[in-house]
Chain A
Amino acid sequence: MAKQLMKGCEAIAEAAIQAGCRFFFGYPITPQNDIPEYMSARMPKVGGCFLQAESEVAAINMVYGAAGAGARVMTSSSSPGISLKQEGISYIAGAELPCVIVNMMRGGPGLGSIQASQGDYFQSTKGGGHGDYHLVVYAPASVQEAIDLMQTAFDVADKYRMPVLILADGIIGQMMEPVEIKQGNASEPVKKDWATVGWSEKDFTRPRAVVNSLYIEVEELEELTGRLQARYAKIAEEETRVELYNTEDAEFMLCAYGTVARICKTAIAQLKKQGIKAGLVRPITLWPFPYKAVHDAIAAPSVKKALCVEMSAGQMVEDVRLAINGEKEIELLGHSGSRVPTAEEIAQRIIQMRGA
């Protein structure tokens, strides 16, 4: 199919439909309203269901019910709404249900701003809701990548029976780019014999289905968390994604994700003109975090200094520092309050670091 110009939010919604998602439950919040709006028009045309819930709390619990009944289902929101969903996300993780959640991050804390931000890194990767669980977290840096990751997100959710988060920012959601959405490439639906679809002893050979996150006995809960942890270890091994850009012989290593990583690439081009070799290590999965790749990129002998750039007061930088474990110093260029760093600013900082 030829490329078409599409807005991030709409492209993500269409990609979800092409990935076989037929149920969407959401609640309006800027800057992701184009997703529910698009879904409300599209879902009835493909025999799916869009429902505007009374709140994000209700929406995520509808996702729980629909996922438990075996459907490919998603919700989307932006930061304050994602905070409200955390209870449900924890239950979905505990009940081992697959679903996809999109967060078009905006500034916080509180009502914050409606502009782009990366302030939800901690919330997304370090828990968010209560209990011992993780989400697989994908951070697209372009509309095309967001599209491609939608299919992956649904497949990974089904494969590991867990919620998957697409963590983008308002810029990805709102900008238009030429993209290609593969049509009808939805993977084969996986068999979900654990889903609650109606059961009776005489008709079915499968056991009665119970979707549940309550394990009142210590041993039983530990069995669940043990099962989850084993799954997480496998995911860390098999699903970790990272992009290395110009890392060969780089003297300065940038580390950034999402929109900021793209700005870093422009900065790298500017620096190159001045004869300064800078590279970028870009985590695509924020959880599992690509500790090894980030370590190796920064620890490389050619690298003199490293800089983490974020649209937050410094959240991912903690994982970058964990990855390098004191071997090298990691500097931070962090803007919170929804201010977007410019390529000139990043290049300038590298030049300063070179001089220092």
Chain B
Amino acid sequence: MAIVFKKTSVLTDTIMHYCPGCGHGIVHRLVAEALEELNLQDKAVGVAPVGCAVFAYRYFNVDMQEAAHGRAPAVATGIKRVLGPESCVFTYQGDGDLASIGAAEIVHAAHRGEKITVIFINNAIYGMTGGQMAPTTLVGQRTTTSPYGRDMEHCGSPIRMSEMLATIDGSAFIERVALNSTANIQRAKKAIRKAFETQMAGKGFSMVEVLSTCPTNWGKSAVESMDWLESSMIPYYPLGVKKEV
């Protein structure tokens, strides 16, 4: 019998713990497929974050390290400096992890032109801890720590990490993608491949920001979540390549 579809070998068979309708599972598969297609499984070392993806080390079928909250880019730096240009080192981080507590680490990894790839999941909320406000939470968005909606006067406006990191010389490839349609998911995969290729070519820091869903903490169904991502997140976080050298 002809095999028409096969799960990538870069994902383990472990059942994922993500909620129904969550974007994390989709992105895991895209990252794993990209690594397989580029023949990078045996060169890859991944760094899992603190956040809903904390168990990423159970799912990616590559050597993995689990980092402290926000420190994944520093951990990845240590790994890459030891293993050298042949290796493919990536971090997988949420928006609380990357844009809040780990803001210094991500900025300086980009600033050094660290040859690592960052997969940045922006779901506009802290998923794991129960839906608190993230730096990426939209103005007016209700979360468990912005129960009246995010007030710009009080706590600023959502941070656009891709645009910010694109201003840094060390960044070689930065693109923002979204999971709201099949076409966009295909684009996301292409961007992830491109990011890994950028790293392997030794060009510098690469990051793909993925606009993703958190139905559980958004208080929406899976379908409503996709709609909200499209109608509310994409207008504020424009998709596309922000930096390419």
Contacts and interface: CB of A to CB of B under 8 A. Distances in A.
Given A55-B104, A210-B57, A66 B66 contact: no
A306 interface: no
B109 to A, nearest CB: 9
Interface stretch (B24-32, B38-46, B224-232): B38-46
A95 B66 contact: yes
A35 B167 CA distance: 33
Interface string A95-107: 1000000000000
Given A61-B105, A65-B80, A210-B63, 7 more contacts: A51-B112, A65-B75, A71-B82, A95-B65, A196-B63, A208-B64, A211-B66
Contact of A65 (B44, B57, B61, B79): B79
Contacts of B57: 210, 212
Interface string A68-109: 111101000000000000011001000100000000000000
Contacts of A25: 78
23 contacts: A23-B78, A23-B82, A49-B81, A51-B112, A58-B77, A58-B104, A61-B68, A61-B75, A63-B78, A64-B67, A64-B68, A65-B77, A68-B78, A69-B78, A73-B82, A88-B71, A91-B67, A198-B62, A198-B63, A208-B63, A209-B63, A210-B64, A212-B66
A199 B42 contact: yes
Nearest to A208: B63
B180 interface: no
A88 to B, nearest CB: 7
B79 A68 contact: yes
A98 B112 CA distance: 26
A200 to B, nearest CB: 4
Interface in B47-105: 47, 54, 57, 61-68, 71, 74-83, 87, 104-105
Contacts of A95: 65-66
Interface in A193-211: 196-201, 203, 208-211
Interface residues of A, number: 40
A214 B67 CA distance: 10
A187 interface: no
A61 B78 contact: yes
Contacts of B111: 54
Contacts of B71: 57-58, 61, 64, 88
B160 interface: no
Contacts of A73: 78, 82
B45 A197 contact: yes
A51 B77 contact: yes
Nearest to B10: A200
A88 B9 CA distance: 32
Contacts of B62: 198-200, 208
A183 interface: no
Interface of B: 9, 41-45, 47, 54, 57, 61-68, 71, 74-83, 87, 104-105, 107-108, 111-112
Contacts of A69: 45, 78-79, 82-83
Contact of B74 (A62, A196, A198, A199): A62
A191 to B, nearest CB: 16
Contacts of A54: 104-105, 107-108, 111
Contacts of B105: 54, 57-58, 61
A62 B63 contact: no
Nearest to B88: A198
A185 to B, nearest CB: 23
A6 B104 CA distance: 36
A213 B43 CA distance: 23
B64 A196 contact: yes
A91 B68 contact: yes
Nearest to B78: A65
Contacts of B43: 198
A94 to B, nearest CB: 10
Nearest to B40: A198
A53 B80 CA distance: 14
A196 to B, nearest CB: 4
A55 B79 CA distance: 18
Contacts of B42: 198-200, 203
B74 A61 contact: yes
A213 B65 contact: no
Contacts of B82: 23, 49, 65-66, 69-71, 73
